[in-house]
Amino acid sequence: MEKILILGVTSNIGYNLFKYWNSEFIYGVCRKSPFALNNNIFEEENYSINKIKILIDKCKPSVIINCLGINNPDECEKKKELSYELNYRFAASLVDACNETNIKLINFSSSLVFSGNKLLFNEESTPLALNYYGELKTNLDQYIRENSSNYLLLRLSTVVGKVKSFQRHNAVSHIVENIKRKNNLKLVSDSTTNYLYVKDLCQIIDKLILGNYTGEFNIAGDDILSRYELGKIILEAMHRDLKENFIEPCSHQDFNNLAKRPINISLNCNKLKKLLSYKMTPVKQFITEIIKDMET
Ligand X SMILES: NC(=O)c1ccc[n+]([C@@H]2O[C@H](COP(=O)([O-])OP(=O)(O)OC[C@H]3O[C@@H](n4cnc5c(N)ncnc54)[C@H](OP(=O)(O)O)[C@@H]3O)[C@@H](O)[C@H]2O)c1
Residues that bind ligand X (CB under 6 A): 8, 10-14, 30-32, 47, 67-71, 82, 86, 108, 110, 156, 158-159, 166-168
Q: Of the two residues 82 and 242, which places its CB atom closer to ligand X in the complex? A: 82
Q: Of the two residues 245 and 283, which places its CB atom closer to ligand X in the complex? A: 283
Separation between Cα atoms, residue 157 and residue 56, nearest integer Å: 30
Least Å from the CB of residue 252 to ligand X: 17
Least Å from the CB of residue 80 to ligand X: 13
Least Å from the CB of residue 240 to ligand X: 25
Task: Please count the CA atoms within 13 angstroms of the CA of 286 that sit on its side-chain side.
Answer: 24
Q: Of the two residues 13 and 247, which places its CB atom closer to ligand X in the complex? A: 13
Q: Of the two residues 76 and 103, which places its CB atom closer to ligand X in the complex? A: 76
DSSP for 214-232?
-EEEEE--S--EEHHHHHH
Q: Of the two residues 73 and 245, which places its CB atom closer to ligand X in the complex? A: 73
What torsion, rounded to 10 degrees, do the Cα atoms 43, 45, 51, 54 define?
Answer: -20
End-to-end CA gap in the chain: 30
Least Å from the CB of residue 7 to ligand X: 8
Enumerate the β-bridge partners of residue 240: none
SS3 at position 29: strand
| H or E, element range at 63 | strand 63-66
Q: Of the two residues 79 and 240, which places its CB atom closer to ligand X in the complex? A: 79
Least Å from the CB of residue 278 to ligand X: 18
Least Å from the CB of residue 15 to ligand X: 8
- 102 and 150 Cβ atoms separated by less than 8 Å: yes
- Which of 137, 58, 149 has the alpha carbon at shortest distance from 100? 149
